[in-house]
Structure 1
Amino acid sequence: MGDPDAVTGDVTGDFQRRWHAFVRRWRRAEPDERSAMVDAALAGGLPPAKGRPPVPEHGVEVRCAKAVIRASGAFDEEGYARARANRVVLRSADPLTQFVTNGWRELRAPSLDFDLWWYWSEYLDPAREDVDPLLHYLLVGRQAGHLPVPPPAPEREHPRLTGGSVRRVCLFAAYDRDGLVDEYVVEYLRELARHADVYYLADGVLEPGELDKLDGVVAGAWSIPHGAYDFGSYSMLARDLVGWDTLTTYDEVVLANDSCFLLRPLDDTFAEMDTRACDWWGLQATSMEFNEDDLDDPEALLSLAEAKVTLVGPRHWSDVLYLHLSSYFLAFRRPVIDDPGFRRRLDAVVPQAEKMSVVHKYEVGISRYLIDSGFEFDTLVSDLYPFHPLYSRRFFELAARGFPLVKRNFLAENPRHVADFAQWEDWLREAVPEAPMAAILASIDRVSPHDVRARSTTVRRDRLGRPVVPNRPLAGYGFRSRSRELPKLDHWWAFPVDRRTHQLPSGSRAVLEAVRDDPSVRKVVLTRSRPIELAGENLVVESFGHLDGSEALARCGFVLLDGHPEDQFEMPMPAAWHRFVHVGGGLPIGPPRLTGAELEGEAQLAARAVASRAEALARAAAGPAPGLTGLWLTGLPRHDLVVRADLPEDLAREEAALRERLDGRRLLVFWPRPGGAAPHLDPAQLDRLADWARRHDAVVGVREPVVDRADGWTYALRSVVGVGVANRTVANGSTVLRVADAVVTDEAEEAVDFLLTGRRLLHWLPDPPQTGDSPLAACYPPDEYLPGPVTRSFDELLAALDSAFDPLGTSERDAYARAVRLAFAHTDDRNAWRLAWRMRGFA
Structure 2
Amino acid sequence: MSLLKKANMELMEGNYEKALSLYRQLKQQEPFLSTIINSNIKIAEGRLFQKTGSINEHITSNTHIINTTEENCVNNVSITEKIRVCAIIPGGIKKGEASSYIRIISPLTLGYIKHKVEFDVLEDKYNLSDIIGYNVCIVQRYAVTDYSKAVELVSFLKANNIQLIVDVDDALGNTTRHKNSQYIQNLSKIIKFLLNNAAVNWFSTEKVKNFYKSTCKKQLVIPNALDPRFWPNKFSASQNIEIKDKIKFLYMGTRTHEDDFYSLAYPAFEKLYEKYPDKFEVSVLGGVSTEKENSWLKFIKFSDKNISYYDFMKIMDKLTGYHVGIAPLVDDDFNICKTDIKFLDYLAIGILPVLSELTPYSGEKIGEYSVRVNNNRWFEELCNIIENKNLILDKLKGSRAYVWQERSIESIAIQQIQSMNYSKEIVKNSGLFDQSFYLDEYVDIAKAKVDPILHYCNFGWKENRLPSYKIDVYWYQEEYLQNSIHDINPILHYELIGKKKGYKLKPDYPKLKKKIVLKENPKRICLFAGYDKDGVIDESVIIFIKELSNYCDVYFLSDSQLQDEQIEKLKPYVKGAWAYRHGEYDFGSYKRLAKYHIGWNEIEKYDELLFVNDSSYLINSLDEVFKKMDSKETSWWGMQATKGLYATRNKPSNKFKKEILISKIKENYLKDYFQENLFDFHIGSYFLSFRKNVIKDKKFQNFINNISKQKDKKRLIMKYEIGLTKYLISSGYDFETFMDHLYPFQPVYTNNIYKMIKKGFPFFKRFFLTENHYKEKKLYTWEDELQKLRPSLDIAPIRSNVYRVADASKLYKNLNIDNYGELFTDVEFSELDKKSKVKKGVWIFPVCAYNHGFDDNTRAVFEEVKNDSKIKKIILFRSRHVNVDGTNVEILPLYSKKSQEYLLVSEFLFVKHSPVINIPFPLDDKKHKFINLWHGIPFKRIGVASLDTQSKLDSIINVHNSKCYAVISSSDIDRLAMSASFYPLKYSDIWLTGLPRHDFIIKQESDLPKELRDDICRLNRILDGRKLILYAPTFRNAQKEAYYNFSEEEKKVLYKYLEKNNLVLGIREHMADTSNSYSSQLVNSNVINMGSAKFETIEPIYRKTDLLITDYSSCFVDFMLTNKPMISFAYDYEAYREKERGTFYDLNFVFPGDICDNVEQLIESLQKYHYNGYKPNDSSYFIKKQIFHKFTDGKSSKRIVDCINQIER
Do Structure 1 and Structure 2 share a fold, with TM-score over 0.5?
yes
Deviation at 1:106, TM superposition (A): 6.4
- Is the counterpart of residue 117 in structure 1 residue 474 in structure 2? yes
- Alignment correspondent of 2:558: 202
**Alpha-carbon distance in 2 for matches of 1:221, 1:760:** 38
Give the SS at the match of 1:216.
coil
- Is the counterpart of residue 55 in structure 1 residue 411 in structure 2? no
Give the SS at the match of 2:578.
strand
- Superposed CA offset, 1:184-208 (max 9, x none): 3223212212222111122323355
1:265 to 597, 621, 638: 621
1:742 to 1099, 1103, 1107: 1107
- Alignment correspondent of 2:1152: 787
- Is the counterpart of residue 484 in structure 1 residue 848 in structure 2? no
Contact 1:99/1:110 (8 A) holds in 2:
no
TM-score, scaled relative to structure 2: 0.55
Deviation at 1:297, TM superposition (A): 5.7
After TM superposition, the structure 1 stretch with the greater mean CA deviation from structure 2, 371-380 or 778-787, is: 778-787
Deviation at 1:160, TM superposition (A): 1.7
After TM superposition, the structure 1 stretch with the greater mean CA deviation from structure 2, 783-792 or 384-393, is: 783-792
- Alignment correspondent of 1:316: 677
- Superposed CA offset, 1:616-668 (max 9, x none): 999999xx986786995757635532455468955266237615862894752
- Alignment correspondent of 2:1020: 662
- Alignment correspondent of 2:739: 381
- Is the counterpart of residue 758 in structure 1 residue 1123 in structure 2? yes
Contact 1:256/1:328 (8 A) holds in 2:
yes
1:11-160 alignment runs, 5 A limit: 54-55=216-217, 73-80=431-438, 96=452, 100=456, 107-119=464-476, 133=489, 136-137=492-493, 149-150=505-506, 152=508, 158-160=514-516
**Alpha-carbon distance in 1 for matches of 2:906, 2:491:** 53
Give the SS at the match of 2:675.
coil
Residues 1:833 and 1:366: Cα distance change in structure 2 (over 3 Å): same
Deviation at 1:213, TM superposition (A): 2.1
Give the SS at the match of 1:386.
coil
2:1061 to 676, 692, 699: 692
Residues 1:198 and 1:473: Cα distance change in structure 2 (over 3 Å): farther
Contact 1:80/1:111 (8 A) holds in 2:
yes
Q: What is the identity, as a one-letter code, of the residue corresponding to 1:387?
A: F
**Alpha-carbon distance in 2 for matches of 1:611, 1:3:** 75
After TM superposition, the structure 1 stretch with the greater mean CA deviation from structure 2, 435-444 or 47-56, is: 47-56
Deviation at 1:385, TM superposition (A): 1.1
**Alpha-carbon distance in 2 for matches of 1:568, 1:27:** 58
Runs of at least 5 residues in structure 2 that lack an aligned partner in the other structure: 1-98, 108-133, 139-153, 164-197, 204-213, 220-418
Contact 2:1015/2:1100 (8 A) holds in 1:
no
Q: What is the identity, as a one-letter code, of the residue corresponding to 2:1105?
A: A
- Alignment correspondent of 1:181: 537
- Alignment correspondent of 2:167: none
Give the SS at the match of 1:313.
helix
Contact 2:427/2:492 (8 A) holds in 1:
no
- Superposed CA offset, 1:170-225 (max 9, x none): 11112334533333322321221222211112232335522222223110112223
Q: What is the identity, as a one-letter code, of the residue corresponding to 1:410?
A: F
After TM superposition, the structure 1 stretch with the greater mean CA deviation from structure 2, 251-260 or 816-825, is: 816-825
- Aligned alpha-carbon RMSD (Å): 5.4
Residues 1:118 and 1:499: Cα distance change in structure 2 (over 3 Å): farther
Deviation at 1:300, TM superposition (A): 3.8
- Superposed CA offset, 1:111-146 (max 9, x none): 211223345566779999x98936745886678869
1:228-239 alignment runs, 5 A limit: 228-239=584-595
Residues 1:151 and 1:2: Cα distance change in structure 2 (over 3 Å): farther
Q: What is the identity, as a one-letter code, of the residue corresponding to 1:761?
A: M
Q: What is the identity, as a one-letter code, of the residue corresponding to 1:796?
A: E
Give the SS at the match of 1:214.
coil
- Alignment correspondent of 1:471: 820
Give the SS at the match of 1:737.
helix
Residues 1:777 and 1:551: Cα distance change in structure 2 (over 3 Å): same
Residues 1:497 and 1:594: Cα distance change in structure 2 (over 3 Å): farther
Deviation at 1:329, TM superposition (A): 0.7
Give the SS at the match of 1:802.
helix
- Superposed CA offset, 1:56-89 (max 9, x none): 79xxx9999988866655433444566xx65798
Q: What is the identity, as a one-letter code, of the residue corresponding to 1:800?
A: K
Residues 1:555 and 1:137: Cα distance change in structure 2 (over 3 Å): farther
- Alignment correspondent of 2:29: none
In percent, how many aligned pairs have the same letter?
24
**Alpha-carbon distance in 2 for matches of 1:157, 1:753:** 71
1:378-417 alignment runs, 5 A limit: 378-410=736-768, 414-417=772-775
- Alignment correspondent of 2:779: 421
- Alignment correspondent of 1:587: 938
Q: What is the identity, as a one-letter code, of the residue corresponding to 1:641?
A: D
**Alpha-carbon distance in 1 for matches of 2:155, 2:480:** 26
Contact 1:166/1:251 (8 A) holds in 2:
yes
- Is the counterpart of residue 535 in structure 1 residue 878 in structure 2? no
**Alpha-carbon distance in 1 for matches of 2:630, 2:156:** 60
- Superposed CA offset, 1:9-32 (max 9, x none): 9xxxxxxxx99999x99997899x
**Alpha-carbon distance in 2 for matches of 1:602, 1:785:** 28
- Superposed CA offset, 1:39-59 (max 9, x none): xxxxxxx999778782279xx
Contact 1:253/1:333 (8 A) holds in 2:
yes
- Is the counterpart of residue 370 in structure 1 residue 728 in structure 2? yes
Q: What is the identity, as a one-letter code, of the residue corresponding to 2:960?
A: L
Contact 2:1110/2:1128 (8 A) holds in 1:
yes
Higher Cα radius of gyration: 2
**Alpha-carbon distance in 2 for matches of 1:376, 1:646:** 66
1:702-713 alignment runs, 5 A limit: 702-704=1067-1069, 712-713=1078-1079
- Is the counterpart of residue 299 in structure 1 residue 658 in structure 2? yes
**Alpha-carbon distance in 2 for matches of 1:493, 1:228:** 44
Deviation at 1:614, TM superposition (A): 7.8
- Alignment correspondent of 1:776: 1141
Deviation at 1:787, TM superposition (A): 2.2
Give the SS at the match of 1:324.
strand
Residues 1:661 and 1:573: Cα distance change in structure 2 (over 3 Å): same
Deviation at 1:249, TM superposition (A): 2.9
**Alpha-carbon distance in 1 for matches of 2:921, 2:732:** 51
**Alpha-carbon distance in 2 for matches of 1:665, 1:611:** 34
Give the SS at the match of 2:718.
helix
- Alignment correspondent of 1:502: 852
Give the SS at the match of 1:531.
coil
After TM superposition, the structure 1 stretch with the greater mean CA deviation from structure 2, 70-79 or 178-187, is: 70-79
Contact 1:511/1:637 (8 A) holds in 2:
no
- Alignment correspondent of 2:85: none
TM-score, scaled relative to structure 1: 0.76
Give the SS at the match of 1:486.
helix
1:573-612 alignment runs, 5 A limit: 581=932, 583-588=934-939, 604-606=959-961
Contact 1:390/1:406 (8 A) holds in 2:
yes
Q: What is the identity, as a one-letter code, of the residue corresponding to 2:754?
A: F
1:792-811 alignment runs, 5 A limit: 792-793=1159-1160, 795-803=1163-1171, 805-808=1173-1176
Deviation at 1:287, TM superposition (A): 2.0
1:796-835 alignment runs, 5 A limit: 796-803=1164-1171, 805-808=1173-1176, 812-814=1178-1180, 816-824=1181-1189
More contact order relative to length (CA 8 Å, sep ≥ 6):
1
Q: What is the identity, as a one-letter code, of the residue corresponding to 2:1102?
A: L
Runs of at least 5 residues in structure 1 that lack an aligned partner in the other structure: 10-17, 35-45, 460-468
2:1032 to 672, 676, 685: 672
Deviation at 1:260, TM superposition (A): 1.6
Deviation at 1:391, TM superposition (A): 1.9
Q: What is the identity, as a one-letter code, of the residue corresponding to 1:109?
A: L
Residues 1:137 and 1:298: Cα distance change in structure 2 (over 3 Å): same
Give the SS at the match of 2:1108.
strand
